[in-house]
């Protein structure tokens, strides 16, 4: 066994508009959390937050929403070959998933509100294992549809019950 | 088949519908009565005040009627390729499962069932694994009929290859031929019961539940009587060990009780045609589980710290198509000596390799990570306490006592590294990890249906990955923890040929 074997990254990038979706989601989460803090400290008076606490929170939340999507965009990749699907996700922690085409059970395409406005879609590929779904976030809608068609066609051609 | 012929055969087969055993009429009312007991008692006692109230008859009649209703409305049948379960008289539901999806059959008999010679039959199929209700339950059949049904289900399942090979292997009807017994429970194994994690958890839960009551009683006794005075007069050196010993005795007794209840008469056998394993166990409620050999994807040896220290372990089967929920029904060896676990495991797999093959260690980076993760958090405690002693005037002894933590952490790290490893045999991927929850899993290489390769930020810096083999069986994913990246990728490539190689760099 050679110790220098490594995986290359999957070939395809997600849509350049995907970071917008992640940024919007991060901002929404930041605002919801801020609203919760306001309710807890100002309305319910569970604790008192000093003014600089709010400043630190705003800087962290905005910094996260500004930097994370760009970083994440460099990580998220996908690839589909004749015999397998290969994805890479995450930003600080990363996860690569490989599923053989013969074990694919379902292929889903979903769109959230923001993704729909931007013409994006997410593709989820599941296998018979509860731990195995492969998710590709933020593909161009037509790329996603082509991928789903292709995967469906290939998995239909495979015999067996995929367990 | 066209729709019309379908309907015709449907009609022709209506006679095949089978009922539950009539004796179940006695089980269900008793069960319902027990469930309604508070209500029944309430009705009778409250009913006393207003004489002639018809309500208390209703309180008894309703559960009995519910039982009758269930008997009348439940039918099942086995057609050529599937089993159907029909429920309901007014609103009908029909549960259908293809016979080749039957993974396990379980016969359970509570004391009432046993008295009446009945058994509840649960049929495990993988079909609805994601939406919860994936089990067909027949409550109840006569024990003999239940066993016959089980034989039918498990032996008819792989119908196609069998037909090709000729039906020579079919079990003839009539008295079942003798099974090969692989293992029988030795009552002396109860000595392992107090050392299992589940035994401890059960005992602690029971203690926790009763501690409030006990606490009150002890308080009152201590304050009200002379006992309290006498106990307080004893030196601490006597009372503390006495308390600890009592605690341990209570826990052990509870754990042993639980072990005997669940595992009394534990017998693992292989059916004469070699197509399924049977597990029989239980003191009051008996349980018979059958596992289709074709669905066996591997084995898990569990060696929690307590068991490992006294040379024990337990064995579970990895069965495909059964969700995590059903894990409890796949036990092959209860807590028992390690030699027994290994012997049974080898017999079940039909080869010796996977359970005894030496494992590949994961190297210095993985060892460093074990030490960092165990020693740093546990070392912070005495450090903080020491600072508090220096600056805030705290006493010194908490910091000195807390020095035990990093020492224990060091031992834990060493043990966790010693337990870490993997191996690849001709047919199996073997992984081992853990200390408190030590385990060794052997997973059939053909059962692997994908790879997840995870790296946290710190793992990335250390050049390590956690390689996860996903499968449709057992706990769905088996981890090769903290292996060097190159080693993990090479392992994934070797274990499932032709999958990973197309994504290799260079």
Q: What's the pLDDT tens digit per position in B219-268?
A: 666 565 555 566 666 677 777 888 888 888 888 888 888 888 888 889 99
Across the interface, do B452 and A96 touch by the CB < 8 Å criterion? yes
User: Above pLDDT 90, what percent of chain B?
Assistant: 21
A100 and B471: CB-CB below 8 Å?
A: no
A113 touches chain B (CB under 8 A): no
Characterise A138 by phi-psi region: left (phi > 0), alpha (psi -120 to 50), beta (else). left
Chain B residues touching residue A83 (CB < 8 angstroms): 498-499, 502
Q: Which residues of B touch A134 (CB under 8 A)?
A: 450
Buried-exposed string B299-322: b where 16+ CB fall within 10 A, e elsewhere: bbbbbbebbbeeebbbbbbbbbbb
Q: Return the beta strands (E) in B325-396 as ranges.
A: 331-337
Half-sphere exposure of B231 (CA within 13 A, CB side): 14
Position B22 pLDDT exceeds 80: no
Is the CA virtual torsion B20, B21, B25, B27 positive or negative? negative
Band (pLDDT 50/70/90 cuts) for residue B57 is low
Strand partners, B422: B360, B431
User: How far apart are alpha carbons B197 and B261 in whole angstroms?
Assistant: 16
Check residue B304 and give left, alpha or beta (phi > 0: left; psi -120 to 50: alpha). Answer: beta
Residues 458-487, chain B, touching A (beta carbon < 8 A): 460, 468, 470-473, 476-477, 484-487
Distance from CA of B447 to the nearest CA of A (A): 7
Interchain CB contact of A48 with B (< 8 Å)? no
Which residue is it, tokens 């996260």?
A64
Q: Is the pLDDT of residue B3 over 70?
A: no
CA distance B377 to B363: 23
Closest C-alpha among B331, B322, B193, B180 to residue B256: B193
* The pLDDT of residue B171: 40
Chain B positions in Cβ-Cβ contact with residue A99 (cut-off 8 Å)? 449-450, 470
Q: Which structure tokens are listed for B490?
A: 């090479």
For chain A, report the end-to-end CA distance as a whole number of angstroms. Answer: 29
What digits encode the pLDDT tens for the residues B150-208? 888 877 644 333 333 333 334 444 445 577 888 899 988 988 888 876 666 666 666 66
* pLDDT of res. B238: 78
Residue-wise pLDDT tens digits, B471-498:
888 888 899 999 999 999 999 999 999 8
The pLDDT assigned to A2 comes to 46
Listed range (A73-82, B258-267, B317-326) with the worst mean pLDDT: B317-326
Give A14's pLDDT tier (boundaries 50, 70, 90). Answer: very high
Q: Which pLDDT score is estimated for B473?
A: 82
The answer on pLDDT for A38 being more than 70 is yes
pLDDT at B368: 93
Edge to edge, the sheet with strand B448-455 lists A12-13, A77-80, A84-90, A94-100, B448-455, B464-471, B477-484
Instruction: Please check the confidence at residue A123 and state whether its pLDDT lies above 50.
Output: yes
Residue B43: per-residue pLDDT: 65
In this predicted structure, what is the pLDDT of residue A105? 85
- Biggest alpha carbon distance in chain B? 91
Cβ contact B277:B348 at 8 Å: yes
pLDDT of residue B165: 36
Q: Give the Cα separation of B483 and B134 in Å (integer).
A: 36
User: What would the mean pLDDT of A118-124 be, rounded to a whole number?
Assistant: 92
The partner residues of B269 in beta bridges, in order of sequence, read B181, B278
Mean pLDDT over residues B14-18, rounded?
69
Helix, strand or coil, per DSSP, at residue B431: strand
Q: Which of A158-162, B350-354, B380-384 has the lowest mean pLDDT?
A: A158-162
Where do runs of H (alpha helix) occur along chain A? 18-38, 51-75, 113-117, 141-156
Half-sphere exposure of B427 (CA within 13 A, CB side): 12
Task: Determine the pLDDT at residue B353.
Answer: 84
User: By mean pLDDT, which of B40-54, B367-381, B395-409, B428-442 is the weakest?
Assistant: B40-54
Residue B2 — very low, low, confident or very high, per pLDDT cuts 50/70/90? very low
Please tell me the distance in Å from B173's CA to the nearest CA on chain A: 31
Looking at residues B82-93, what average pLDDT do you find?
Answer: 76
* pLDDT for position B235: 74
How many Å apart are CA B330 and CA B316, to the nearest integer? Answer: 6
d(CA A22, CA A96): 19
- The enclosing H or E element of A89 equals strand A84-90
The residue of chain A nearest to residue B479, with distances taken between CA atoms, is A131
Residue A132 has its nearest CB partner, among B450, B491, B494, at: B450
Count of beta carbons in the 10 Å neighbourhood of residue B149: 21
Closest CB from A2, A79, A97 relative to B486:
A2
Residue B458 or B58, more confident:
B458
**Residue bearing the bigger pLDDT, B351 or B135:** B351
- Backbone φ, ψ for residue B419 (5° rounding): -85, 0
Picking from B472, B498, B506 by the largest number of A CB atoms within 10 A of its own CB, the best residue to mutate is B472
For an interface test with B, give the residue of A1, A4, A5 to mutate (most B CBs within 10 A).
A5
Which residue on chain B is closest to A5 by alpha carbon?
B486
How far from B418 is each of B191, B228, B251, B364, CA to CA, in Å?
26, 49, 30, 12
Question: In this model, does residue A138 exceed pLDDT 70?
Answer: yes
pLDDT digits (tens, 9 = 90+) for B381-393: 989 999 998 888 8
Q: Would you say A100 and B450 are in contact if contact means Cβ atoms under 8 Å apart? A: yes
Note the ipTM here. Answer: 0.88
What ranges do the domains of chain B cover? 14-73, 187-263, 363-417
Output the CA–CA distances (angstroms, integers) from residue A61 to A26, A30, B281, in the order listed: 8, 6, 57
Identify the pLDDT of residue A72.
93
């Amino acid at each position: 066994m050679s110790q220098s074997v490594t995986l290359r990254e999957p070939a395809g990038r997600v849509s350049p508009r995907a970071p917008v979706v992640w940024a919007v989601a991060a901002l929404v989460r930041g605002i919801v959390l801020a609203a919760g803090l306001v309710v807890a400290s100002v309305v319910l008076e569970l604790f008192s937050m000093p003014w600089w606490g709010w400043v630190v929170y705003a800087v962290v939340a905005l910094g996260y929403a500004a930097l994370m999507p760009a970083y994440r965009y460099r990580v998220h990749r996908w690839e589909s070959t004749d015999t397998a699907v290969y994805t890479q996700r995450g930003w600080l922690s990363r996860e690569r998933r490989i599923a053989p085409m013969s074990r694919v059970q379902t292929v889903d395409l979903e769109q959230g509100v923001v993704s729909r406005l931007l013409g994006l879609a997410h593709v989820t590929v599941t296998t018979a294992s509860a731990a195995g779904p492969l998710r590709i976030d933020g593909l161009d809608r037509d790329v996603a549809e082509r991928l789903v068609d292709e995967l469906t066609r290939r998995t239909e051609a495979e015999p067996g019950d995929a367990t | 088949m066209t729709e019309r012929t379908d309907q015709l055969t449907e009609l022709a087969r209506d006679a095949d519908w089978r009922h539950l055993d009539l004796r179940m009429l006695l089980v269900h009312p008793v069960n319902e009565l027990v469930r309604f007991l508070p209500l029944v008692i309430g009705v009778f006692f409250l009913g006393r005040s207003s004489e002639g109230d018809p309500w208390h008859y209703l309180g008894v009649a309703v559960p009995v009627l519910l039982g009758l209703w269930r008997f009348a409305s439940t039918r099942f049948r086995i057609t050529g390729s599937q089993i159907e379960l029909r429920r309901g008289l007014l609103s009908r539901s029909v549960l259908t499962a293809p016979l080749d999806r039957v993974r396990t059959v379980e016969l359970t008999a509570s004391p009432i069932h046993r008295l009446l010679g009945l058994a509840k039959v649960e049929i495990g199929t993988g079909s609805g694994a994601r939406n919860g209700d994936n089990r067909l339950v027949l409550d109840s059949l006569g024990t003999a009929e239940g066993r016959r049904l089980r034989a039918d289900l498990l032996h008819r399942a792989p119908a196609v290859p069998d037909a090709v090979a000729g039906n020579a292997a079919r079990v003839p009807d009539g008295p079942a031929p003798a099974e090969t017994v692989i293992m029988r429970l030795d009552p002396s194994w109860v000595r392992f019961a107090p050392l299992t994690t589940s035994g401890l958890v059960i005992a602690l839960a029971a203690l926790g539940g009763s501690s409030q009551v006990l606490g009150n009683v002890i308080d009152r006794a201590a304050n009200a009587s002379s006992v309290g005075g006498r106990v307080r007069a004893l030196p601490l050196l006597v009372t503390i060990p006495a308390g600890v010993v009592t605690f341990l005795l209570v826990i052990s007794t509870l754990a042993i009780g639980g072990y005997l209840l669940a595992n009394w008469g534990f017998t693992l056998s292989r059916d004469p045609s070699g197509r399924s394993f049977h597990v029989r166990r239980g003191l009051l409620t008996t349980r018979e589980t059958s596992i289709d050999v074709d669905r066996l994807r591997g084995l898990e040896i569990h060696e929690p710290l307590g068991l490992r220290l006294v040379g024990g372990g337990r064995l579970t089967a990895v069965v495909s198509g059964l969700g995590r929920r059903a894990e409890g029904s796949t036990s092959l060896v209860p807590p028992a000596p390690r030699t027994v676990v290994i012997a049974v495991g080898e017999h079940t797999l039909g080869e010796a390799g996977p359970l005894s093959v030496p494992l590949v260690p994961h190297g210095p980076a993985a060892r460093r990570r074990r030490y960092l993760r165990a020693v740093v958090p546990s070392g912070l405690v005495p450090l903080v306490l020491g600072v508090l002693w220096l600056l805030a005037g705290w006493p010194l002894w908490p910091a000195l006592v807390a020095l035990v933590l990093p020492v224990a952490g060091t031992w834990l790290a060493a043990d966790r590294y010693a337990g870490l490893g993997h191996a690849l045999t001709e047919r199996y991927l073997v992984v081992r990890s853990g200390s408190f929850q030590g385990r060794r899993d052997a997973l059939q290489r053909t059962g692997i249906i994908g790879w997840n390769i995870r790296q946290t930020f710190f793992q990335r810096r250390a050049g390590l990955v956690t390689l996860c083999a996903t499968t449709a069986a057992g706990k769905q994913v088996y981890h090769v923890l903290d292996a060097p990246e190159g080693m993990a990728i090479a392992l994934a490539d070797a274990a499932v040929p032709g999958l990973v190689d197309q994504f290799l760099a260079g």
